[in-house]
Structure 1
């Protein structure tokens, strides 16, 4: 819906003449203002309103689990640094306990009539206190150093595992409902892994410091620990409630911030710069971006007031209880239950314990928040591991024949099949053209032929090997695929052709593939030829045209010299000369492989040995181009006639 805040902004600017303060294009020009983007508040997140709905007990149970998960991740990444952090935390706590005990021993000796005599007796304890305090500080610094060394490794390990599983997952996983949302949540969890490692260090340090200070306070007088807890609890509860306010703002704006972030990339990238300008989209998109920013900022500003009142109330209550603690100490001294020296030690211990408790409550809340996202990460990792392409152990070899026996495929959450049961045989040396209207099932059939997906019913056989029972990597080793949407990889030109394939033949085979697709001249004209980075957005990088990228994708497939070569609209952006060259090479390479071509340019279909026409997921007709075009009622004939009338 349209935000009232956005409507009023433009209206006020025009009324008061403050146009220079408002960047809404419609406000400056007086043109009708477009509708503001709707308020986005995605309802499907797993942990929606998690902080609001969580009790303190829920948080208390979640935090140990988050600590354990973080510890396991850190342990698998770098055991030495993990042990360093743990040991340093313990030594820091011991240092605090020794320091407070030494202060408790030194203060009575200092509080005598003769300062020199008191110092003479107290200096050993004071020396121990100073050394213990310095040791504790040094341990904290060392733990921080170890954490800084560990964090980059944690970030890399979490991200690499996520990326690796995405690349190994069955393609059907991407079609599962909500997969993209869960993937995004897992990505956030991987990013939060570093934050939670820092939080875990600070939280555990607070726990150790609290235990040390509490032990000293209890030894001085048991009532002091109870009074201390009362002085800190209001601030702790205030911290939890304030964190809920922060999280509510985060939760309500996460969708808007995600969409705004995606839009920002599109507004600033060169890929859409032409379309944005030529279609005069700048004004609207700038207005859209600002409106979305205002939706986010208005919610953040609205959360500032309750945050202030909560913090003030918690601080006031904490102050009252702190006064109660000082009063308790004074009462103990006046009643003779505690000496003035011990009261001084209690003040130092209470301050240490108070800081530790504040740290514990603050970082417990933060860890609960981060822990939700970390659990998303681990849940997604577990889910995708069950979806990786681990089908069987049979070793696929270059096929002389591909047979589909009643093979069909239905996408997850779909009622009707994308490809209905098909029985079909493809032979080595044959060039087969797949033809059909949009949505006929051509891309899905290609996925089944190449083992990218296994049929939901029926079988696909390479010779006698059922692809559903074969090691997927051994299948793809013999496939060369030029997809309809090919990758413009930000790599050197050499790697854009080889993509990590062995280079036993040096550059000769690379240049041969380039020659086959007509890219030799373009590659030699690059500043560093094959070493040139093909990424214009990076300093020193260069860009290719759309047709050149398609030629490079064809060269990539030809370099592999595959047994099964599949090209999906391989020449849609090429000129006539390039298109002719590609299809001429396909014919020349045909005897050694099974070649499948998908194209809507029906003149190119003439070069195929056989044309298979798909219609609504089923084979409607097949045969030679001339036979099908001449057949009355042929779909190919109808499509070809329409193409000739353009």
Structure 2
């Protein structure tokens, strides 16, 4: 017996699991090596997003530091001049230049602060754009089975929230830190010049703040991790309560009150946890600030003692007080920058792990080429299990669709039809058995190459809030923007729409095929459920695919329209292979081959006549459905 390769649909240790992430976060040390990695990662990202803006931020930080240090020197000079003025015979005009210099430096600092805010905002938006694009690339590229995992959704939610801001916050924290260091060096030098013991005393006061800020960073990340499920459910409940598609049912069943209570209960639980979390952070903050404040008090008392003993002049003392206040602010800024780096760094690790998830999935993709000639697709003894499920959704399934054939999958709800179609479409990877395209194993080729040759219509179609033309042309997204010639694209769109029976309806809209299909935007129109179904069918017809898979494509069509669709299916497909799923047995009887599924298995296969003659499950279901129609018509 041939040995089939096994591909597990989910990781044995899911890196999206919050427990795994929490353990990784706890194991992270606040080492210089980790700081270096965070610096390199975030700085390279910001540099990539805007080199000129990055340089501007650095220059502004250095100028701000120089201006701050200059203020201390000018204050000392000004105080000397003020003290020396009485009885010295010096004119009041001697104060003009120190006062003007101090005012100019203060104005320069204010201007720099304003400019930093503007540059920071623009650079932050650029970083957010780069990160959003990277997250979108990963989210649209990972295998579909990832979306069956709640842990993956939790991670995706966190990344979508944090990827926009956290990488830039790391770099912003570094700007704050190094800017404060530069300013602190200048101010500290001035303080050492006044008396060398004052600076070490302030440095000792910074140590408790550093320790408490590290602990606060860990608490913040752990809280965010724990609250992700609650945040996701609050978002979902709010979306249901305010969503356009849900609005009619919310009113029809009067569920608004229940949704309101559900949302409020979720928010109440969040606020209880938030209050406890902020309480823990507050205690740490108070502890650090109290110790730091005691150290500052000691420093000021030492300064008073130096004045009393004559070691520091009155002017020097005044400058020292200004310098101490400035330096205290810079120490706070340095510690805040360090906390921002490490706190955001924990989130950045989560973002990087998400990106690595996409790279890992891509690294397992095949690199082979598909043959130019299409000779059919086949599932051979295929099994598939959803993430977290206790048993297989498919077991020992074998299905074949030859070139030019129309093949049907039938069965009761939950029999595995849609899952089998997704495996055949290359959207799910079989956990056992093989799926082949013209004899080539799906695992040996690039998924993107495989999907380019398959068109799929699902029963839960997507209603894009774009123009009618774009809705259809998205069947081949490379041409949706008019690539290849607008006239050629338009002709293809019209042919696909005509084949799906929707051309006249779209042509009659206010702006024809340029009409936006949504009530979410101005100057738009919406369609009926059946018309949207035809749009989806046209989208599949537009795609130049060798295999077309239609999962309940006529669910929203009336019986006459459904009959007309399937009567013209062979001519519309123009020799391409088709696999379709339907609950209406009247539409599958003309198929070349019918597969009957039950409990995730293929239990019967053959033509309509062969299956009726067999007298098995298909014959029973067909007879029941036919008798229901006859009974209702009597």
Fold equivalence (TM over 0.5): yes
Contact (CA 8 Å) 1:151, 1:197: kept in 2 or not? no
Q: Is the 8 Å Cα contact of residues 566 and 597 (structure 1) preserved in structure 2? A: yes
2:64 equivalent in structure 1? 92
Q: Over residues 125-178 of structure 1, what are the superposed CA-to-partner deviations in whole Å (9 max), with x where a residue is unaligned?
A: 766665555555444443333222211111111111111111122223334572
Gaps of 5+ in 1: 1-41
Alpha-carbon distance between aligned partners in 2 of 1:85 and 1:475, rounded to the nearest angstrom: 47
Distance in 2 (CA, whole Å) between partners of 1:438 and 1:564 is 24
Aligned counterpart, 1:573: 556
**How much has 1:268 moved relative to structure 2?**
1.0
Contact 1:397 1:478 survives alignment (8 Å): no
1:60-75 equivalent positions in 2, closer than 5 A:
65-75=37-47
Which residue of the other structure, out of 347, 353, 356, is the alignment partner of 2:330? 356
Q: Which residue of 1 aligns with 2:509?
A: 526
Of 517-526 and 97-106, more deviation after overlay is shown by 97-106
Name the SS of the counterpart of 2:605 in structure 1: strand
Give the equivalent residue in structure 2 for 1:275: 249
| Structural mapping, 1:286-301, within 5 Å | 286-300=260-274
Q: Is the 8 A contact 1:110 1:119 kept in 2?
A: no
Task: Decide which of 132, 142, 154 is 1:169's aligned counterpart.
Answer: 142
Greater Cα offset, 407-416 or 81-90: 407-416
Q: Distance in 1 between matches of 2:113 and 2:257?
A: 53
Q: Which residue among 146, 149, 157 is the counterpart of 2:119?
A: 146
Q: CA deviation at 1:54?
A: 9.7
Q: Deviations over 1:231-264 (max 9, x none)?
A: 5666777777788887787666554343222201
- Look up the match of 2:623: 641
Cα pair distance change 1:527/1:623, threshold 3 Å = same
CA distance in 2, matches of 1:639, 1:627: 14
Q: Compute the displacement of 1:212 (Å).
A: 2.6
Deviation at 1:554, TM superposition (A): 0.2
Q: Report the CA distance shift for 1:448/1:397 in structure 2 as closer, same or farther (over 3 A).
A: farther
How many pairs align? 602
**1:591-632 deviation per Cα after TM superposition (whole angstroms, max 9, x unaligned):** 521111111111111121111123333332211112102213
Match of 2:308 among 320, 330, 334: 334
1:477 Cα deviation after fit:
2.1
SS at match of 2:597: strand
Please tell me the root mean square deviation across aligned C-alpha atoms, in Å.
3.5
Shift in alpha-carbon separation, 1:265–1:62, aligned structure 2, 3 A: farther
Q: Distance in 1 between matches of 2:278 and 2:449?
A: 58
Task: Report the equivalent of 1:544.
Answer: 527
TM-score (norm 1): 0.83
Post-superposition CA distance 1:43-65 (Å, at most 9, x none): 945565999x799x749886665
Quote the Cα distance in structure 1 between the aligned partners of 2:463 and 2:328. Answer: 57
CA distance in 1, matches of 2:33, 2:564: 66
The 8 Å contact of residues 189 and 375 in structure 1, kept in 2 or not, is answered as no
Q: 1:377 to 1:581 in 2, by over 3 A?
A: same
Q: Counterpart of 1:472? A: 447
Change (3 A) 1:470 1:370: same
1:433 match: secondary structure:
strand
Q: Is the 8 A contact 2:237 2:262 kept in 1?
A: no
What are the within-5 Å matches in structure 2 for residues 115-514 of structure 1?
A: 117=90, 133-175=106-148, 178-193=151-166, 194-229=168-203, 254-300=228-274, 318-388=292-362, 390-397=365-372, 399-412=374-387, 414=389, 416-499=391-474, 500=477, 501=479, 502=483, 503=486, 505-514=488-497
Confirm or deny that 1:515 pairs with 2:487.
Answer: no
Contact 2:171 2:341 in 1 (8 A): no
Instruction: Give the superposition deviation at 1:413.
Output: 5.0
| Structure 2, gaps ≥5 residues long | 1-15, 629-634
Judging changes above 3 Å, is the alpha-carbon distance between structure 1 residues 286 and 601 closer, same or farther for their aligned structure 2 residues? same
TM-score, normalisation: structure 2: 0.84
| d(CA) in 2 for partners of 1:242, 1:385 | 32
The C-alpha deviation readout for 1:289-316, integer Å capped at 9, x for no partner, is 3333333344555677777777677666
1:21 paired residue number: none
After TM superposition, give the deviation of residue 464 of structure 1 in Å: 4.5
Alpha-carbon distance in 2 for matches of 1:61, 1:331: 43
1:86-141 CA-to-partner distances (Å, cap 9, x unmatched) read 23212322333344344445544553244663877777676666555555544444
Q: Deviations over 1:270-325 (max 9, x none)?
A: 21222222223233222223333333344555677777777677666555443332
**CA 1:354–1:564: 2 relative to 1, 3 Å:** same
Between 455-464 and 69-78, report the one with greater CA deviation.
455-464
